[in-house]
Amino acid sequence: MISSENFLKDSNTINFLKLRGGYGELGSTSGFDNFGYLSTVNFGNTVFGQTNAGQQVTSRASSLFSDTTTWERIITKEIGLDFRLFNNSIFGSIDLYQKDNEDMLISLVYPDILGTTAPLTNSGSLETKGWEAQLGWNGNIGDLEISVSANMSDSRNEITSYEGADSFVPGLNLIDSSDNIADLVVEGRPINSFYLYETDGFFANQAEVDAYYATYSGGILADQGASAGLVPGDTRIVDTNEDGVIDTDDVTFQGDSSPHYVYGFNLNLKYKNWDFSSFFQGALQQYIVRTGYFSAPFQAVWQNQSASWLGKTWTQENPNSEFPRLSTQGGAGGWNYVNNDFMRQNNKYVRLKSLIVGYNFKDLKIANRPINNLRIYFSGNDLFELTKVKDGYDPESAAGANNNTYPFMRTWALGVKVSL
């Protein structure tokens, strides 16, 4: 507590100043099943014999256990500062932290010749660094009492080691279970990363299409003249590794799906019998790429189409469009839209999460009976938002949201509260 030191004890400017720090280590068995310390045996049936062949019971080692396996260690380091200034009217805090997952239990990819499930080994490490800040002010102007506060936080993670893992698929590499980690992580990158095709506009004419086919063939590129073959208005995907083939090796890292710079803002006012309180929430960066039905227009021909494409796709009259040509041909739609860089949206938003406006009647009497307080109020949740999401989806829904999310709701309420 720095504010207790002699040189600050009597300060009117700094009323409170405290430096905090922490270090902790925790053990974790995340990803480790109940009998993960044993090699298990599975039973089955197989036909044996030549003359009197019949089904016989068989058994096999269905999993292996590594006897060097131990706990995963989660090491947390934190440093923080709390302060109150100017007669406690300004208050705030700053926190920095780092969390290291060391010796993560992961199953490595072994050749299939192993013949059974590979054991978990302590082979991964993940580093997460983050910060949080809060600042507020309590004060009044005449009869108006004001209380405002704002906070923001961010964290970034990085797979610091994973036995040289370098596997990813086009699109979001979402880690939703311990089973799929090894296939979806790259050392030096965050988890839940996007790998997308880089694009360089749309073909303006047949000559540009011909020139593209003269340079590239194979991979995901449909043959010229085939039903999914390129025509003017289609997307020019960049051969990022310059091997003359457009394929999944050309996708590049384009951020992660975690929300970043998440913030909240509180404003509370009181004026005579009125009170007002509001809370805003938002994020400055969260990347999303739609999947399934909304990964491309006409992804399925029977589906409802998103109105967000309307008037923004390539036609000969609209060559400088935001999106490529529309097509009901699945292959063409896939090439033109699915997992291309322009399909990544930044889910930047601010939303009024809650609003309460109230009025308190004091010293009322009803039929000579005194009423201590009669309060009439309006309260609402999720009343409005500003968002950069282009396709009309709720910015607080999951990153890969499809068309099967529960409809978003706003709520209003009018209330009367009587205290006798």
Residues engaged in binding Ca ion (CB under 5 A): 239, 241, 243, 245, 250
Compute the least distance from the CB of residue 243 to Ca ion, in Å.
4
Compute the least distance from the CB of residue 195 to Ca ion, in Å.
13
Compute the least distance from the CB of residue 84 to Ca ion, in Å.
58
CB-wise, 250 or 396, nearer to Ca ion? 250
CB-wise, 227 or 241, nearer to Ca ion? 241
Q: How far out from the chain centre does Cα 250 lie?
A: 23
CB-wise, 154 or 250, nearer to Ca ion? 250
Compute the least distance from the CB of residue 238 to Ca ion, in Å.
9
Which of 93, 84, 96, 32 lies closest to 63 in space, CA to CA?
Answer: 32
Compute the least distance from the CB of residue 198 to Ca ion, in Å.
11
Pairing of strands 287-288, 349-366: unpaired
CB-wise, 239 or 394, nearer to Ca ion? 239
CB-wise, 12 or 215, nearer to Ca ion? 215
Compute the least distance from the CB of residue 200 to Ca ion, in Å.
14
Compute the least distance from the CB of residue 340 to Ca ion, in Å.
15
CA-to-CA distance for 175 and 158, rounded, in angstroms? Answer: 13
- For the chain, state the CA radius of gyration: 30
CB-based burial label for 53 (10 Å; 0-12, 13-18, 19+): exposed
CA-to-CA distance for 296 and 279, rounded, in angstroms? Answer: 36
Three-class secondary structure of residue 119 per DSSP: coil
Compute the least distance from the CB of residue 122 to Ca ion, in Å.
36
Distance set, CA 384 to CA 213, 352, 409, 412 (Å): 48, 6, 11, 12
Compute the least distance from the CB of residue 69 to Ca ion, in Å.
39
DSSP 312-340: -B-BTTBTT-SB----S-HHHHHHHHTTB
For 106-111, the CB contacts below 8 A with 24+ separation are 106/31, 106/162, 106/163, 106/178, 106/181, 106/182, 107/178, 107/179, 107/182, 108/163, 108/182, 109/167, 109/182, 109/183
17's CB contacts (< 8 A; 6+ apart) are: 1, 2, 3, 8, 81, 82, 83, 84
CB-wise, 239 or 396, nearer to Ca ion? 239
CB-wise, 183 or 243, nearer to Ca ion? 243
CB-wise, 103 or 239, nearer to Ca ion? 239
CA-to-CA distance for 306 and 300, rounded, in angstroms? Answer: 12
What is the dihedral sign for C-alpha 114, 117, 123, 124?
positive
Compute the least distance from the CB of residue 199 to Ca ion, in Å.
14
| Helix (H) or strand (E) run with residue 215 in it | helix 206-215
CB-wise, 239 or 341, nearer to Ca ion? 239
CA-to-CA distance for 355 and 278, rounded, in angstroms? Answer: 4
- How many other β-carbons are positioned within 10 Å of the β-carbon of residue 369? 8
CB-wise, 95 or 247, nearer to Ca ion? 247
The full length of the chain comes to 420
